[in-house]
Amino acid sequence: MKARIWMFTGALSLSLGTGVTIAQTSEQLERLAISDAKHLSAASKRALEWPKLSNDWYGEFRETDLKGDFAYQKGIVRRDPSSVLYEDELYHTWYTKSTGPTEGFSNPIKNKVYPWDKSDIWHASSKDGIRWKEDKKPAVVRGKAGSFDDRSVFTPEVLKHEGRYYLVYQTVKHPYIHQVKNQVGIAYADSPYGPWIKHDKPILSPADNGKWLEEGSYSLAAEVQGDFDSHKVHDPYLTFFNGKFHLYYKGERMGEKITFGGREIRHGVATSDSPFGPFVKSKYNPISNSGHEVVIWHYNGGIGSLITTDGPERNTVQWAQDGINFEILAAIRKAPHAMGLVRKNDNSSEPFKIFDWGLTHGYKDWNEQTIRRFDSRQPQKSKRYKN
């Protein structure tokens, strides 16, 4: 591991046992509560390798129920809200909607196997971010029988670019069995209300270098695991960055294992000159070693990422100048699930502004889920925490 080196006038020289000597000031030792520089625990050595971190990216969240069509409705699943766009004095979001009970894989031909199975993508708008009105018909529906998206379309994300709107979303082809390989589709429109025109092919697919131990069975054991995204590509987020379209996504691996008490989930990115592809996966993938839902935003000329739920770096805010090489900025407690960020807060000069408020989803049970609102606060900036 390559250690960072800081040099300061009048610094102490401290060997970290890696063949590298790091210079530190007495002020830094005081900040890290290291009282004996000659006797360093493994924890103190790690702390001395940290960059200078601040509290600017730390905050806390609370969630509240919403009104109108986003209020609880029996037998309805609304989940995975997209980013929130502000257009014509209205807030807009897109989301997964389905009805009926989730019955699992006992009969995957007939049953709804997950809450997001047999879903379409819907749109709703709001004047205040609290009371929401749903359109009378879905924005994007499942494809015709035999198409790559004939079983379900779900988990949408939205991008407005040069006056046009783009929706990217997950797709499943019938039947929805354990070993099914999810893909990413795209649709476009000239208005938030549509009509939405679907691209006839997926724009991103799993890697094809894995091999199931028992093809066509209920088993998820793999003879060859393949790349980090050999089973599924999920949670797409499309943005325009550094002159190219960047498609960030969650990868699920064949033969997935449990690591650090969480699922083996990593994120990747693919780029293209067109929102319709072809998208080329980065040679640096995976670009995270943890995560679940993809939460991405623009900040300070680079890309921010909130890593949640799974893996050794879960519950951290990260940032990359190049959109690939992410560094940890802060730890976050109890971040909302499937966050839909308010896009007018992209590139704010205030680091935590992107989390000011947004949308999430909550479970009543496996059959009924609702879209909710989250708000945040930064306790370290309140008067109580000031010296």
pLDDT at 17: 42
Q: What is the pLDDT of residues 204-258, one digit of tens each?
A: 999 999 999 999 888 999 999 999 999 999 999 999 999 999 999 999 999 998 8
**Class of domain 12-49 as given by CATH:** mainly alpha
The answer to whether residue 37 scores a pLDDT higher than 90 is no
Spans of all domains in the chain:
12-49, 60-385
Mean per-residue pLDDT, 112-128:
98
Mean per-residue pLDDT, 140-166:
98
pLDDT at 275: 98
pLDDT at 26: 84
Architecture of the domain delimited by 60-385: 5 Propeller (2.115)
CA distance 83 to 94: 8
pLDDT at 5: 30
Confidence of residue 86 (pLDDT cuts 50, 70, 90): very high
pLDDT at 283: 98
pLDDT at 162: 98
Mean per-residue pLDDT, 337-342:
97
